Amino acid sequence: MEVPVLTSFHAVSLSSKTAFYMDRCRFSRKRLNCKRRCRLRIKVSSEKDDDGSLSFKSDAVNFRGGELSGDLVDVISIGSRKDAVVDFCFDSPLQLSSSLLRFWNIQTKDSMNVQLQERVLEKDVNPRVMEVSQFLKFRSKAIVLVCTFLNYHSLTFRAAVASAGYGLDHITAIDILKTSRFRNGFTVAIFLKPFSFEGQRRQDEVKDLVGKLQEYTNFCIDIDTDALLKKDLVTLDEALKSANSAVLLAINAISILISEMHQKIIDAVHNNVRELKVSEVIKILESYKEAKIGFGTGNSIRSSIIQALYDCPFIGAGVEELNGIVICILASSIPMDSKDVHTSLLTFRRTANYTGEIIICTAYEPNLEPNMLVTTVVIVG
């Protein structure tokens, strides 16, 4: 069985794009029925029905510019593949990648001249460049650090890479995380780790750097890229696309989980279903500290869950023995109601043979194909 891969599409316009979606048994290309990218969000509220059960209502609300929202997330990318990963995110059909997220690169000329430059989707917009001290004045909901430790030359020539070391961008990233944590900010790190053929020296240096970054983060998501190449039929290009997909959906998951506009439901044992506040979600993430991520697509909830749990190599062998919490995020071009949420919970438990706690939330993504579901599973603990 080949590794499923969800890659981005390379855009020629906002209304006509091609996407590659995961196919459980093969890599297939499907045409994306992509509508004009808009700033529409679904505001979800809950209330008690007459029988005492939770009912969910959704209202479309216009969203004008991420900076007007308290849900804004700043994403800083470092490493040799930072530009490729951000470009991949910009090409995504997911709306959150262009509205509630703000992307930055660290520019370092010397130790006395370090700035952050914003990455923008629109070509006619001049990106902002600012000092680190100015950036830290932003009151965003979270800072997400994407660490791309893959090396382009090593992937091309399969040769050992030069020293990873502690470059100025790494030092700056550590300082930003440290300052944000000191100010009680929520900091997340996503680690895209190197392949084993990049050499033991590289592995050791990255391990040391990851340990240092983890000291100043509330929550980390590890993406073990080496697991991709354990599948004999997967090419290096496909492995990179799948790794990029994992980073994209990890960023998207964090944005959704800490957003007030997306309702989070926790389903504990004995059918104890209730709504979670964002502060409760953050407390859960902080308590477990680390997570893995899986993802899948399909024309049904069950098929997309199967891909996320069993075909995506980043998770492993399912969640039956998990001593933690499963977070399941379902994205669809059609808004989901309370019946869909409860059906999804039941389907997940049956498909995964899982009896522990589940946090589930949904995302409205109008640019996805009709009847296409994208499931992101975050394994916490």
- CA dihedral sign, ordered 82, 105, 136, 206: positive
pLDDT of residue 379: 93
* pLDDT of 283 higher than 70: yes
* pLDDT of 330 higher than 70: yes
Counting residues of the chain whose pLDDT is more than 70, the rounded percentage is: 74
pLDDT of residue 229: 75
Can you tell me the distance from the alpha carbon of 98 to that of 66, in angstroms, rounded to the nearest whole number? 9
Amino acid identity of residue 197, one-letter, is: F
Q: What is the rounded average pLDDT of the residues 10-15?
A: 25
pLDDT of residue 146: 95
Q: What is the rounded average pLDDT of the residues 246-254?
A: 94
* pLDDT of 52 higher than 70: no
pLDDT of residue 129: 92
More confident residue, 251 or 167: 251
pLDDT of residue 18: 27
Can you tell me the distance from the alpha carbon of 63 to that of 60, in angstroms, rounded to the nearest whole number? 9
Please report which confidence band the pLDDT of residue 76 belongs to, taking 50, 70 and 90 as the band edges.
Answer: very high
Residue ranges of the domains in the chain?
66-255, 262-380
- Token duo for residue 103: 């992307």
Q: What is the rounded average pLDDT of the residues 99-119?
A: 84
pLDDT of residue 29: 29
Highest mean pLDDT among 113-127, 128-142, 257-271: 128-142
283: helix, strand or coil? helix
Tens digits of residue pLDDT in 177-233: 999 999 999 999 999 888 888 788 888 888 888 898 999 999 999 998 888 877 665
* pLDDT of 253 higher than 80: yes
pLDDT of residue 96: 54
* pLDDT of 154 higher than 70: no
pLDDT of residue 32: 30
More confident residue, 319 or 295: 295
Please report which confidence band the pLDDT of residue 151 belongs to, taking 50, 70 and 90 as the band edges.
Answer: low
* CATH fold for domain 66-255: Rossmann fold (3.40.50)
Please report which confidence band the pLDDT of residue 99 belongs to, taking 50, 70 and 90 as the band edges.
Answer: low
* pLDDT of 336 higher than 50: yes
pLDDT of residue 16: 27
The residue among 11, 10, 17, 20 whose CA lies nearest residue 34 is 17
pLDDT of residue 70: 59
More confident residue, 154 or 112: 112
More confident residue, 285 or 159: 285
Please report which confidence band the pLDDT of residue 236 belongs to, taking 50, 70 and 90 as the band edges.
Answer: confident
Q: What is the rounded average pLDDT of the residues 125-129?
A: 86
The residue among 246, 317, 332, 364 whose CA lies nearest residue 6 is 246
* pLDDT of 142 higher than 90: yes
| Whole-number Cα distances in Å, 273 to 53, 55, 246, 268, 270 | 9, 11, 29, 6, 9
**Overall CATH class of domain 262-380:** alpha beta
pLDDT of residue 281: 95
Which residues partner with 62 through β-bridges?
40
Residues in the chain, how many? 381
More confident residue, 171 or 9: 171
Can you tell me the distance from the alpha carbon of 365 to that of 97, in angstroms, rounded to the nearest whole number? 11
